[in-house]
Structure formats: C-alpha cells, structure tokens
C-alpha cells in the first residue's frame, strides 16, 4: 500500500512478472495451436468420410420369376438377370445393345446379392413381385453425391421447336440461353447441344424424343454440367438416365450399413470395414491377453523381488531399450520366430497378436513398474508390519493401488498396438482379405493396414472409405480410452 511496503529492485520485480506473463502466453499459444490443428485434422477427416456412410440405391419392382428362381433352392437363382431386366424395364427408352450394357453398368456388381439374401430368407417371395432397393455402382454413387460434376437444372423459358436433321436434331425458337454441351430434355427425350447451325442449334440425341411437337415454357428443361463429359467417369447419357430415375423418385439415399457389415472388396460400394475391425480386435485381444499378465508379472518381479545385481540391471536397461526399438523390427522377429520357426499361419490374427504383444510388452512393464514405484512405501511397511509376507504385501496392497496406473499404461500400449501397421506387414497381414475372420488362425487384416491398402487404390470412391476407416479407427481408440478412464476412476474412487 505505502512506500514502506516496497522492497527490492522495482525493475527486477517488473522483469520477473513480465517473464511470468510471457511464459503463460507461450503456453496458451501452444495449447491453442495444438487444439486448432487437431480440430482441422478431425474436421477434415470427418468431412471426407461423411459420404462413405451413405449409399444410393434404385428402388425397383422386381418380379421373382419361378422359372429363374427355384423356390426350393433359391440361392442358385438367376438374380443378376432379374435385377438387370427390371432395371431395363424401368428405362424403356434405352433400346440399343450398347446402351443396355452401359445401363447394367450403373448397377453395382453385387446388386443382386441383397435381393438374393431377401429371397433366401423368405422363399415365399418366389412368384411374387417385390419392391426392393438395388445398390448402384460406386461411380453412380459418386455422381449422385455430386463428386463427379455439378449438375444444374433449369426450366426452359419460351417455346422451342424441334426438327429432325438426319441423325441429329435442329432446335429453333427460344434457344438464346443454350450453350454447347448442355442437355435439353423435351418430349421424353434428351438432346445435347452440339453447335450452332443454320437458323438454330444442332443437337445430338442422347435419348430420342417421342414426338417433335413444339414445347412451351415449362415443358422442357436444361441440364448444365460443371465438368465436361471427357473429364468425368460418367457420360451425359448415363446422367440423363439417372436424372430421369431421380425425377421419378426411384433413387434413394440411405445409410450404408454394409460398410460396417461386410469385408473388403474390389468394388468400393461393396467394401466394408468389418473384416479389418474384427481382425484388429482379435489381434489386440491376443496381444493384451499375453502382454498384460506377463508385463505386470515381470514388473512386480523386477520392482519387488529381483536381487539388485548386474544381471537385473542389464535386463532393466534392455527393457527400456526394447520400448524404443522400431516396430518393423518386431515384425521381422515375428516372421522369423512365429511364422518360420513355429509355423503359425501367415496373416493370422494369432501371429499378429503375438507380434503386437512383443511390441507392447516393454511399454507395459515400464508403466507397471512406474505405477508400483509410486505406491507409498508406508503401505508396504504397514503390511509387512502386521506380518504379511512380501508377496502378500505386493498382491494385497501394492498391486491394487498401482492398478489405475497400470491400466493407464496398458491402454496407451493397446492404443499403440491398434494403430501399428509396419510389423504386421512383415507377417503378411497386408493381404487383400474379403472374408471376415472367424477365429484366430483365419487370414485377417487390421484397421490401419486396411486404411493403408485403401489409400493406395486409384478409385476416387475409396478416398472417402479410407477416411471413414480412419474415423472407425479413431472411434475404437476413443472407446478404449473411455473404458480406461472409467476403470481408472472406478478403482480410484473405491477409497
């Protein structure tokens, strides 16, 4: 308050406070920057992944012809043929052979599978007509998600006349706004503007119009594309077909549960994460089942019982070094020991789990030792003081107190194991595996490897699936962390 209260060099004191303020500002800035980058990263991944969680299907009436599907043995029925015929029937304007083939290409290769499953589950459907959604190809899916080209639809203003000009057509009348490349839909047909011609615009027929009547304002419309036909993997003609289906409300967008329910596939629309997810969980389960008891036991022995001599010192140093060994080395070790020497099956979750167990063992030992070390020695003394044996003191009193710390370390180790790719490449878990592994010796792959594989594929549709797989991996990690935090809180809250 008064001058008598002041002591010391005021400049020095001011500098001290400045330094403190500066330090706090640095800390806050670092934290803010980290949060920003994290937010950008997660937002980017989620935005990229979002489309992969939805798929487009065309809803069709399909007659299950008893001549093509045997009610007694429906699984062998010609569902591909049924679906293709139904699709063609939905677009009767498509007549030429080549166009029909292209039309079939709009459907997914696995389009008939859903229908087959439906009928196999309910054989009574044979002979009836069902309304079923049929999966569209990834290419079409991309177009419908707007990732191939922007498509703008505008109603025609004014009246246009149509006249045949050889193979093509001549448009006259209110054609002022039309540009080459745009598609005029009129009288049930679709005409692509090619170039100016005598008195009007020459247009090429994508779908032949039913009549040549003049169309007044509102009776015709125009599709304009932001990307020219040559720059996309879907033709104007295909777009016209799809748009007509869309206008009829025959195309639905739905959550792509199959992404979570099926294994890998060469077709992006059929590819799912289930196989990799199950593989990851199996491998991590093996790793945890092995490394947790071994690691904790090793930590207890080293921390509490091992004599302090040269040998234990060397072991301790080596454990610390092992934690820093690049993970691919563990993969090589696994290849040499588990596959070549013990003859375990290649790319199996068992071999992967064993390698991951080796990988996380040092981490768990270090975490468990640190946790045991942090238990106050007075607790051990108290136990020994009432006549507990050393082992009783450790297992009754020290281990329960160390458990939260051990769990935290273990979860960190498991998170690392879950994200590990390199060592698994060495033992063949990098293969293209369609089936979902049913046991530990089935060929399997894991989430990070699946991400790696998908990120390598040229199909654009796999980009969003790669991001979606990353989201799944992150979600699994968050779940694991949540479990760890819950367990830790539970053990801590006991007293």
Q: At what angle do helices 399-418 and 274-300 cross, to 10 degrees?
A: 140
**Residue 162 · residue 171 · CB < 8 Å:** yes
382 is a contact residue toward another protein (CB under 8 A): yes
8 vs 15, 16, 21, CA distance in Å? 12, 12, 20
Q: Is 372 in the site for another protein (CB under 8 A)?
A: no
Nearest distance from residue 367's CB to another protein, in Å?
20
- Binding flag, residue 387, another protein (CB under 8 A): yes
Which residue in the set 119, 288, 344, 401 belongs to the binding site for another protein (CB under 8 A)? 401
> Which range, of 90-98, 233-241, 371-379, 478-486, touches another protein by CB under 8 A?
371-379
Residue 388 sits in the site that holds another protein (CB under 8 A): yes
Out of 252, 313, 381, 435, the residue judged to bind another protein by CB under 8 A:
381
Select from 7, 17, 386, 456 the one that contacts another protein (CB under 8 A): 386
Q: If binding means CB under 8 A, how many residues of this protein chain bind another protein?
A: 21
* 285 closest CA partner among 482, 492, 476: 476
Q: How far is the CB of 493 from another protein (least distance, A)?
A: 11
The backbone torsions φ and ψ at residue 133, rounded to the nearest 5 degrees and listed phi first, read -80, 140
Q: Specify the residue, 341 or 495, whose C-beta has the smaller distance to another protein.
A: 495
Toward another protein, which CB reaches closer, 2 or 378?
A: 378
Residues 289-328 that bind another protein (CB under 8 A): 308
Distance CA 216, CA 235 (A): 28
Q: Is 101 helix (H, G, I), strand (E, B) or coil?
A: helix
Upper half-sphere CA count for residue 179 (Cβ side, 13 Å)? 6
Q: Does 211 bind another protein (CB under 8 A)?
A: no
> H helices within 236-376, ranges in order?
236-247, 258-261, 274-300, 310-322, 327-334, 349-373
- Smallest Cα–Cα separation from 322: which of 346, 345, 298? 298
Q: How far apart are the C-alpha atoms of 372 and 354, rounded to whole Å?
A: 26
Based on CB atoms, which residue is closest to another protein, 292 or 403? 403
Among positions 246, 397, 416, 488, the unique one binding another protein when judged by CB under 8 A = 397
Task: Select from 13, 392, 432, 478 the one that contacts another protein (CB under 8 A).
Answer: 392
Q: From the CA atom positions of the chain, what is the Rg in Å?
A: 33
Query: Taking CB under 8 A as the rule, does residue 127 contact another protein?
Result: no
Torsion of CA 298, 301, 306, 311, to 10 degrees: 0
Least Cβ distance, residue 388 to another protein (angstroms): 6
Name the residue nearer to another protein (CB basis): 50 or 491. 491
| Contact predicate 353/285, CB 8 Å | yes
Q: Which stretch binds another protein (CB under 8 A): 130-138, 315-323, 387-395, 447-455?
A: 387-395
Q: What does the binding site for another protein look like in residue numbers (CB under 8 A)?
A: 308, 376, 378-389, 392, 396-397, 400-401, 494-495
């Amino acid at each position: 308050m008064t001058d008598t209260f002041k002591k010391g060099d005021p400049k020095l004191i001011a500098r001290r406070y400045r330094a403190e303020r500066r330090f706090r500002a640095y800390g806050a800035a670092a934290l803010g920057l980290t949060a920003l980058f994290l937010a950008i990263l997660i937002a980017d991944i989620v935005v990229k992944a979002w489309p992969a969680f939805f798929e487009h299907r065309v809803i069709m009436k399909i007659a299950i012809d008893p001549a093509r599907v045997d009610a007694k043995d429906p699984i062998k029925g010609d569902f591909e043929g049924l679906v293709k015929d139904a699709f063609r029937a939905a677009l009767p304007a498509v007549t030429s052979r080549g166009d029909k083939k292209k039309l079939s290409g709009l459907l997914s290769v696995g389009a008939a599978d859903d229908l087959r499953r439906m009928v196999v589950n309910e054989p009574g459907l044979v002979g009836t007509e069902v309304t079923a959604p049929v999966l569209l190809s990834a290419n079409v899916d991309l177009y419908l998600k707007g990732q191939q080209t922007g498509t703008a639809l505008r109603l025609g203003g004014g009246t246009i006349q149509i006249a045949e000009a050889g193979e093509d057509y001549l448009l006259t009348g209110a054609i002022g706004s039309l540009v080459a490349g745009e598609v005029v839909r009129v009288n049930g047909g679709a005409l692509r503007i090619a170039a100016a011609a005598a008195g009007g615009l020459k247009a090429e027929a994508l779908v032949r119009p039913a009549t040549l009547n003049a169309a007044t304002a509102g009776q015709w419309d125009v599709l304009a594309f932001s990307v020219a036909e040559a720059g996309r993997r879907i033709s104007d003609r295909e777009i016209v077909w799809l748009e007509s289906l869309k206008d009829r409300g025959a195309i639905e967008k739905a959550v792509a549960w199959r992404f979570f329910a099926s294994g890998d596939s060469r077709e992006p629309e059929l590819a799912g994460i289930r196989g990799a997810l199950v593989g990851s969980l199996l491998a991590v389960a093996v790793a945890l089942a092995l490394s947790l008891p071994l690691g904790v036991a090793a930590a207890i022995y080293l921390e509490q019982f091992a004599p302090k001599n040269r040998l234990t010192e060397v072991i301790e140093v080596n454990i610390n070094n092992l934690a820093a060994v690049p993970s691919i080395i563990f993969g090589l070790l696994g290849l040499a020991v588990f596959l070549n020497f013990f003859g375990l099956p290649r790319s199996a979750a068992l071999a992967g789990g064993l390698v991951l167990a080796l990988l996380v063992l040092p981490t768990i030992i270090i975490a468990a030792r640190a946790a045991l070390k942090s238990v106050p020695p007075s607790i051990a003394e108290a136990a020994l003081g009432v006549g507990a044996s050393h082992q009783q003191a450790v297992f009754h009193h020290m281990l329960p107190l160390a458990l939260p710390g051990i769990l935290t370390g273990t979860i960190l180790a498991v998170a690392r194991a879950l994200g590990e790719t390199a060592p698994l490449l060495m033992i063949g878990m990098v293969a293209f595996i369609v089936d979902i592994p049913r046991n530990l010796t089935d060929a399997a792959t894991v989430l990070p490897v699946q991400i790696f594989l998908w990120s390598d594929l040229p199909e654009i549709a796999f980009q969003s699936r790669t991001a979606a797989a990353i989201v799944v991996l992150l979600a699994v990690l968050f779940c694991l962390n949540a479990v760890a935090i819950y367990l830790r809180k539970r053990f801590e809250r006991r007293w």
